[in-house]
């Protein structure tokens, strides 16, 4: 019997969620055959079996499991499942009762419901044969919330089943009163609103695995990284003109976006400011040997950051093609963890949404991130004339453990200079 462990599919993965088993319980699995889809902190990946045998699923779909924990087993023969019409107390494959005893959590984190089959109790006690408790699912959830021991309760439901009201009574909480009668004719019944009711009936949305990971990582970043930001305005006249000229001569080739100009400018500037291209890890500065620029991409209900590796060595045209390819893969759901890791610096651009400035959150363990706003037309004086300028706001958010104000200002000035004289990006 071979145990299949939750694999580590990315360098930051701590746990994964079983999205879909591609083989059924008891089915034969061949070596190298696609076995399961797993959602990581980066993307959803298909994992191929490293062994062969008959599948015995341990972690069901929707279950979140730590890296290294067993999610399935591969053996020589499938277990014989219990008959569908068999008794509720039929033993499972491991020799234990299939129903959870009192106080034992079930696979979904709630107390196991032993009331699938009624077991009468003359004295009205909730305890049934085998030490299990007859209780409604709502009563079990309420007992968990209020830390009430179901085994000590005497149920008032049919055959001694514990109801929610029994749990509330044991917890010393009054059950909600029944609906009041209709107000007399001509009198409007006063509206009774709780604080939550005053805001209307909420729609509850459970965040996806990816959204939970993003929320946790951003909370950790804000709580542990001492951030500061510096900001400057960039005159984008020449960059806009260069882009227009490229459009005229592109002959169908992908046209660089303003964000591609920014990625290339940052990559070139990072070669001159190594402390920006660094991390603070284990009390030391880690100055990275490669310049890998992450580009924030808005996916459906999430934000992913694919990486342009060795961006300093690539032409503006190559960066354009690679960013476009990565963006398409993010939005189609085909992006893989290797394409989302290894970044040493990040660019986050909301200019396409008309935002004039953005102060992004550092993507740990990186030391800095650049926020990019929209290009906007402003009037400026040039000698005795009033002319129109194209301005763009860029904001560098930095880790104060690695960088200081002067470091950030020098880097940002370098990026500004490259964007204001963009032909240097072609050198």
Estimate to the nearest angstrom the gap between the alpha carbon of 109 and the chain centroid.
Answer: 21
Which of 51, 119, 288, 400 does the annotation list as catalytic? 400
The pair of three-digit structure tokens given for residue 407, joined into one six-digit string:
């470091």
Instruction: Give percent helix, percent strand, percent coil of the chain, each to the nearest 5.
Output: 30, 25, 45
Q: Distance between CA atoms of 363 and 281, rounded to whole angstroms?
A: 14
Residue 32's closest CA among 76, 74, 1, 78? 74
E strand segments, 195-277: 227-235
The pair of three-digit structure tokens given for residue 94, joined into one six-digit string:
């491991």
Q: What is the 3-state secondary structure (H, E, C) of 134-194?
A: CECHHHHHHHHHHCCCHHHCCCCCHHHCECHHHHHHHCCCCCCCCCCCCCCCCCCCCCCCC
Q: For residue 243, list its beta bridge partners.
A: none
Estimate to the nearest angstrom the gap between the alpha carbon of 409 and the chain centroid.
Answer: 32
Is 214 in contact with 12 (CB distance < 8 Å)? no
Dihedral sign for Cα 284, 287, 289, 294, please: positive
The pair of three-digit structure tokens given for residue 46, joined into one six-digit string:
């298909």
Q: How far apart are the first and last CA of the chain?
A: 60
At residue 229's C-alpha, the angle toward residues 223 and 232, to 5°, is 160
400 is catalytic: yes
Residue 57 CA neighbour count, 13 Å, CB half = 18
CB neighbours of residue 176 within 10 Å: 9
CB neighbours of residue 99 within 10 Å: 20
Catalytic residues: 400
């Amino acid at each position: 019997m071979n145990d299949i462990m939750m694999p580590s599919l990315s360098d930051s993965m701590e746990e994964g969620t079983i999205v879909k088993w591609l083989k059924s319980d008891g089915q034969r699995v061949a070596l190298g055959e696609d076995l399961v889809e797993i959602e990581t902190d980066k993307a959803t990946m298909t994992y191929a079996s490293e062994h062969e045998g008959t599948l015995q699923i341990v972690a069901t779909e929707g279950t979140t499991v730590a890296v290294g924990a067993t999610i399935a087993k591969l053996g020589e023969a499938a277990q014989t499942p219990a008959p569908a019409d068999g008794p509720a107390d039929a033993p499972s494959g491991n020799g234990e009762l299939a129903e959870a005893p009192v106080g034992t959590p079930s696979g979904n984190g709630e107390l196991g419901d032993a009331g699938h089959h009624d077991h009468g109790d003359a004295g009205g006690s909730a305890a049934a044969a085998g030490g299990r408790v007859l209780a409604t699912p709502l009563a079990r959830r309420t007992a968990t919330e209020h830390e009430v021991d179901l085994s000590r309760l005497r149920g008032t439901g049919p055959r001694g089943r514990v109801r929610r009201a029994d749990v509330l009574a044991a917890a010393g909480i009054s059950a909600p009163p029944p609906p009041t009668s209709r107000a007399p004719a001509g009198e409007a019944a006063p509206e009774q609103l709780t604080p939550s009711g005053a805001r209307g009936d909420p729609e509850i949305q459970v965040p996806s695995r990816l959204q939970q990971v993003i929320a946790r990582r951003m909370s950790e970043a804000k709580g542990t990284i001492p951030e500061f930001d510096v900001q400057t305005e960039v005159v984008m006249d020449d960059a806009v003109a260069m882009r227009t000229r490229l459009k005229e001569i592109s002959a169908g080739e992908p046209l660089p976006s303003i964000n591609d100009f920014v990625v290339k400018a940052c990559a070139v500037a990072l070669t001159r400011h190594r402390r920006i291209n660094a991390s603070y890890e284990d009390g030391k500065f880690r100055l990275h040997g490669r310049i890998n620029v992450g580009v924030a991409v808005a996916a459906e209900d999430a934000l992913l950051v694919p990486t342009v590796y060795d961006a300093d060595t690539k032409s503006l045209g190559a960066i354009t093609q690679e960013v476009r390819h990565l963006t398409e893969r993010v939005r189609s759901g085909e992006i893989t963890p290797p394409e989302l890791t290894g970044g040493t610096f990040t660019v986050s651009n909301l200019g396409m949404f008309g935002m004039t400035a953005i102060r992004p959150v550092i993507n740990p363990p990186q030391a800095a991130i650049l926020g990019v706003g929209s290009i906007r037309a402003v009037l400026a004086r040039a000698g005795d004339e009033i002319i129109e300028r194209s301005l763009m706001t860029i904001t560098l958010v930095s880790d104060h453990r690695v960088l200081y104000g002067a470091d950030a200002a020098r880097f940002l000035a370098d990026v500004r200079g490259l964007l204001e004289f963009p032909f240097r990006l072609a050198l």
